[in-house]
Structure 1
Amino acid sequence: MINTLIIDDEKHCIDRIEGLLRTCGSEFQLTAKAQTVEEAISETKKHHPDLVFLDVQIGTQTGFDYLAQWDQPDFDVVFTTAYDQYAIEAFKFSALDYLLKPIDKENFKVAINKYTSRLSKNYFDKKMEVLMHNLRSNQATKKISIPTQEGYEFLTLQEVLRLEADGNYTHIFHKNGTKLTVAKTLKVFDEMLVGSNFFRIHHSHLINLIHIKKYYKGKGGYVVMEDGASVDVSTRKKEEFLKFLTNYYH
């Protein structure tokens, strides 16, 4: 049995999650609901949930105020949020699960399936650390959680030179010369890194603008990165790329 706690200051949001949870099978048991941080702390101590659906904004407090009560939470968390794009980006970078309000049925099922297939709190503390760091930090010092076969790598975006597609995999090149291969498509990273000084100059290449050494003109042209790699700029991306460069360096 998976004991579940829902924390949200709006009753209709609690009702929505409760209704969706009923469609997920009898193994999920809703053991408690809470609409304040204080109530949530009390219910957690009383019921020891396995899974918590946690609203980011709870009245005048936040879900992070609730999490701060536990040195090492022994439950898993799915955040629910109506936050702006900045906060959503932070969740994506940290690899923590989140649901955007109003909560979609299919997205809810995806979150539940991820939980049941994993049933592990490994790396939760580190991913929370990345999330909180990114919510406080400027663009240059943001971090990103990268899933690997062993677990997760936590990289500062500023230290990533470029990413290269390889079918359903992506190679991530670090400024220290190492390469990390991830079982995610380049499209996933392209969408995730919008607004983060990265530009997809070719269908196979996503580069960090701060690490461009030179740009050579031509039909599409190519860039030389700080590690010496030459990366082609596709013809259809050239005009957009040059405009992007102009805005970036001025």
Structure 2
Amino acid sequence: MTINAIIVDDEEYSRKSLYFLLEVHCPNVKIKGIAKSVSEAKGMLLAGNIDLVFLDIAMPIEDGFYLLPDIQKVNSSVIFTTAYDQYGLKALKANAIDYILKPIDIEELKQAVEKAIYLRKLTLNNLRGSESRNTKLQNLEENLNDLKKINKINLPNSNGFQILNVNQIVYVSADSNYSIFYLDNKESIIVSRHLKEYQELLEKSGFSRIHKSTIINLKHLSDYTNKNGLIVKLSDNSEHVVSRRRSSEFLDTVRHYFKR
């Protein structure tokens, strides 16, 4: 199945880079236009027959969210592409197919396009009446749950930001208004944001908050014991207390995680 798409981004390099990646790695996507702004993209949408929009968020005058009503009018789908991870939750709430951080990872792009094609087929089948409403809702719910998982996260610093694969993170601890990320290479990164923000971002990606001041990556969990209190040990040999208030939820999360 071939789908028609447009690229909307104010940066020339980003437009050209994404176009090249799609041409080489996603032959099922036919680029029908490239826009530098929301107003330019509106004209392309009105021209018709656009199935998918690759949409940057942080653009001057009007950000990408201003284009959403026009995208919805023509029943197109959205894949957000941006360098700013703080837009992630808002993007997901806007029912985007996916949300990709720049610089764009080829595998993430291919997966996002596969989702777009799948949902396009789902929509067409539904219009033909070949799929029940309950099945459609179930598939859509599973897809949206999957979108809440993130593979990368960017951590702001005084010079810009640093992009991490979430698998690099062993645990995150709170220190007043700061969050400290401890990585599998023994490095640590301090970010001036509350731990709760990162809990919301990471909880669908295999992380569990075990204490008011600690989030752990279950991928790095190596041991758990209640012999002398509730204690977990991680791959870096660090040990952490699981609060009694969170112990039941933690155990349920662990069981579900290792059943996958």
Q: TM-score, normalised by structure 2?
A: 0.53
**Match in the other structure for 2:251:** 242
Cα distance in 2 between the residues matched to 1:222 and 1:148: 32
Q: Which amino acid aligns with 2:161?
A: Y
Runs of 4+ residues deviating >6 angstroms: 51-55, 87-93, 138-141
Kindly tell me the number of residue pairs found equivalent between the two proteins.
175
Contact 1:169 1:184 in 2 (8 A): yes
* Deviation of the 1:166 alpha carbon: 0.7
Contact (CA 8 Å) 1:147, 1:153: kept in 2 or not?
A: yes
- The structural deviation recorded for 1:89 is 10
Unaligned runs of 5+ in 1: 1-6, 8-36, 68-72, 103-125
Residues 194/133 of structure 1: CA separation in 2 closer, same or farther (3 Å cut): farther
> What SS is found at the alignment partner of 2:185?
coil
| 1:132-171 C-alpha deviation (Å, 9 max, x unpaired) | 7645459898111111112111100111100000111000
2:103 is the counterpart of 1:129: yes
Whichever residue aligns with residue 128 of structure 1, its letter is: K
Partner SS state of residue 228, structure 1: coil
The alignment status of 1:79 with 2:64, answered yes or no, reads yes
Amino acid of the residue matched to residue 85 of structure 2?
S
8 Å contact from structure 1 (residues 92, 192) kept in 2: no
Equivalences for 1:41-190 in 2 at 5 Å?
A: 41=35, 44=36, 60-64=50-54, 78-80=63-65, 81=68, 94-96=85-87, 101=94, 127-130=101-104, 134=108, 136=110, 142-190=151-199
CA distance 1:74–1:191, shift in 2 (3 Å): closer
Deviation at 1:91, TM superposition (A): 6.7
Equivalent of 2:210, from 201, 206, 215?
Answer: 201
Instruction: Report % sequence identity.
Output: 23
Distance 1:249 1:175 in 2: 20
Residue 228 of structure 1 deviates from its aligned partner by 1.2
Take 2:155 and 2:52, find their aligned partners in 1: how far apart are those partners?
Answer: 26
Distance change in 2, residues 1:101/1:246 (3 Å):
closer
Q: Deviations over 1:57-94 (max 9, x none)?
A: x5624332x77xxxxx99687322589xxx89987983
Q: Is the 8 A contact 2:81 2:102 kept in 1?
A: no
Unaligned residue ranges in structure 2 (runs of 5+):
1-7, 9-31, 73-77, 113-145
Picking from 224, 234, 238, the partner of 2:233 is: 224
Instruction: Name the aligned partner's letter for residue 230 of structure 2.
Output: G
Deviation at 1:245, TM superposition (A): 1.1
Q: Is the 8 A contact 1:130 1:144 kept in 2?
A: no
- Which residue of structure 2 aligns with residue 13 of structure 1? none
Normalising by structure 1, report the TM-score: 0.55
Deviates more, 1:74-83 or 1:146-155: 74-83
The whole-number CA distance in structure 2 between the counterparts of 1:145 and 1:153 is: 5
Is the 1:213–1:224 Cα contact (8 Å) retained in structure 2? yes
1:42-63 CA-to-partner distances (Å, cap 9, x unmatched) read xx4xxxx6x87979xx562433
Distance in 1 of aligned mates of 2:198 and 2:79: 14
Indicate the structure with greater helix content: 2
Cα deviation 1:88-140 (Å, max 9, x = unaligned): 998798345766559xxxxxxxxxxxxxxxxxxxxxxx943348764545989
Aligned partner letter, 1:94? D
